[in-house]
């Protein structure tokens, strides 16, 4: 799992920083297809995980509240599979094609 996570971080950086793939929808780098733009958004939310509010204890005895991602058994990979997505490590061109197809399907 650690190797997959390292690959995912690198692939996401390639899309968002270097422009190799869709910088606005980096999840397209990891899924084979999306039926529409809403499917891409849902996959991105699944990948990122749910946000929860937690209380953080301070050394002074007080606490403050912070929002953090909830850890999941199996991580984001298993969550995507569980949500019905077919996983695929896409090249930049392939990831752009996933986004383009989803946008075309949303318009029609």
Residue 9 pLDDT level (bands cut at 50, 70, 90): very high
Distance between CA atoms of 71 and 65, rounded to whole angstroms? 17
Distance between CA atoms of 69 and 51, rounded to whole angstroms? 4
Pairing of strands 51-57, 63-69: antiparallel
Kindly report, residue by residue over 17-74, the tens digit of the pLDDT: 999 999 999 999 999 999 999 999 999 999 988 888 888 888 888 888 988 877 777 8
Instruction: Please report the pLDDT score of residue 62 as a whole number.
Output: 86
Q: With a threshold of 0.75, does the pTM exceed it?
A: yes
Instruction: Please report the pLDDT score of residue 49 as a whole number.
Output: 86
- What are the boundaries of each domain within the chain? 2-107
DSSP type of residue 61: S
Alpha helices by DSSP H, 49-91: 75-82
**Which residues make beta-bridge pairs with 64?**
56
């Amino acid at each position: 799992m650690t190797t997959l996570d390292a690959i995912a971080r690198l692939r996401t950086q390639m899309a968002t920083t270097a422009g190799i793939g869709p910088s606005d929808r980096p999840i397209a780098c990891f899924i084979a297809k999306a039926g529409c733009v809403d499917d891409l958004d849902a996959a991105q939310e699944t990948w990122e995980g749910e946000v929860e509010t937690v209380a953080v204890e301070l050394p002074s005895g007080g606490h403050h509240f912070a929002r953090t991602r909830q850890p999941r058994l199996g991580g984001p990979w298993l969550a995507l599979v569980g949500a019905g997505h077919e996983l695929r490590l896409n090249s930049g061109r392939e990831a752009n094609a996933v986004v383009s197809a989803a946008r075309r399907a949303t318009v029609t």
